[in-house]
């Protein structure tokens, strides 16, 4: 059965206001386990059904989306980031806060969305899986002269790679010529991601 969200999963605005405080706290806790820092200013958040439902609910709340048609547009936009079994879906953030840093770094980081890799195992047994940009978003976010500060990506793993992931260790790495950083995944993050990868 697909994990994708449907209209029935999205609460109307009044119902959402009643659950928002608790749901927001749950998602903040969830994202803390699913967030991985890479170097000084890149963060990856591994998305799942709950983080994407929160994204859509918050968008509907802020933009006062009241019709099924408006919610359907958000579902079409964000449902690709709900991972199916065998997948990890993530949002990569380039977290620069000044105009000077953005103007300096974003042109240097062109292609960063194709430089994210998952290293599973170690030594001679290490398997490397490259991320692929999410198709619909890539068309809008990829430029030759500069990059966007947000990218949507996927890892797709085979059954053998999922078994190796479970055994660990697992490292997330950026191998861009201008930004080369790696972080070993914490045990709690690996447990979270195994729930995405397995049926």
169 preceded by a cis bond (ω within 30 of 0): yes
Report the C-alpha gap between 170 and 186 in whole angstroms: 9
SS (HEC) of 45-96: EEECHHHHHHHHHHHHHHHCCCCHHHHHHHHHHHHHHCCCCCEEEEEEEECC
- CB 119, CB 170: distance < 8 Å: yes
Q: Is 140 contained in some domain?
A: yes
Residue 135: which domain range?
Answer: 7-197
For residue 142, what pLDDT band results from cuts at 50, 70 and 90? Answer: low
Element (H, E) at 36: strand 35-38
The domain tally of the chain equals 1
Is residue 55 situated within a structural domain? yes
Residue 144 has pLDDT above 80, yes or no: no
Residue 38 bridge partners (DSSP):
42
Q: Which residues contact 180 (CB under 8 A, 6 or more apart)?
A: 173, 174
Average pLDDT over every residue of 70-99: 93
Q: Is residue 1 part of a domain?
A: no
Average pLDDT, the chain: 92
Which tokens hold the place of 103? 């103007």
Does a structural domain hold residue 47? Answer: yes
- Tell me the per-residue pLDDT of 2-53, one tens digit each, with 9 for 90 and over: 789 999 999 988 999 999 999 999 999 999 999 999 999 999 999 999 999 9
Closest by CA position to 74, among listed 55, 93, 87, 91: 55
Residue 101, pLDDT score: 94
- Decide: 152 and 80 in contact? Cβ < 8 Å: yes
H-run or E-run covering 13: helix 13-34
Q: How many CB atoms lie within 10 A of CB 124?
A: 5
Cα–Cα distance, 80 to 55 (Å, whole number):
13
2 found inside a domain? no
């Amino acid at each position: 059965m697909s994990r994708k969200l449907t209209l029935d999963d999205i609460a109307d605005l009044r119902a959402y206001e009643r659950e928002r405080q608790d749901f927001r706290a749950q998602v903040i806790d969830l994202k803390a386990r699913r967030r991985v820092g890479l170097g000084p200013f890149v963060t990856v958040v591994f998305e799942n059904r709950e983080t994407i439902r929160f994204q859509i609910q918050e968008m509907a709340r802020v933009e006062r989306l009241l019709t099924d048609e408006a919610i359907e547009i958000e579902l079409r936009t964000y449902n690709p980031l709900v991972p199916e079994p065998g997948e990890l879906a993530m949002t990569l953030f380039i977290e620069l806060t000044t105009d000077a840093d953005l103007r300096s770094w974003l042109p240097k980081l062109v292609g960063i969305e194709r430089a994210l890799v998952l290293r599973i195992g170690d030594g001679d047994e290490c398997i490397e899986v490259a991320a692929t940009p999410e198709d619909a978003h890539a068309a809008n976010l990829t430029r030759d002269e500069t990059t966007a500060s947000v990218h949507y990506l996927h890892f797709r793993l085979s059954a053998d790679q999922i078994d190796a992931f479970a055994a660990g260790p697992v490292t997330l790495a950026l191998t861009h010529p201008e930004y080369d950083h790696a972080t070993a995944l914490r045990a709690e993050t690996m447990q979270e991601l195994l729930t995405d990868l397995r049926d």
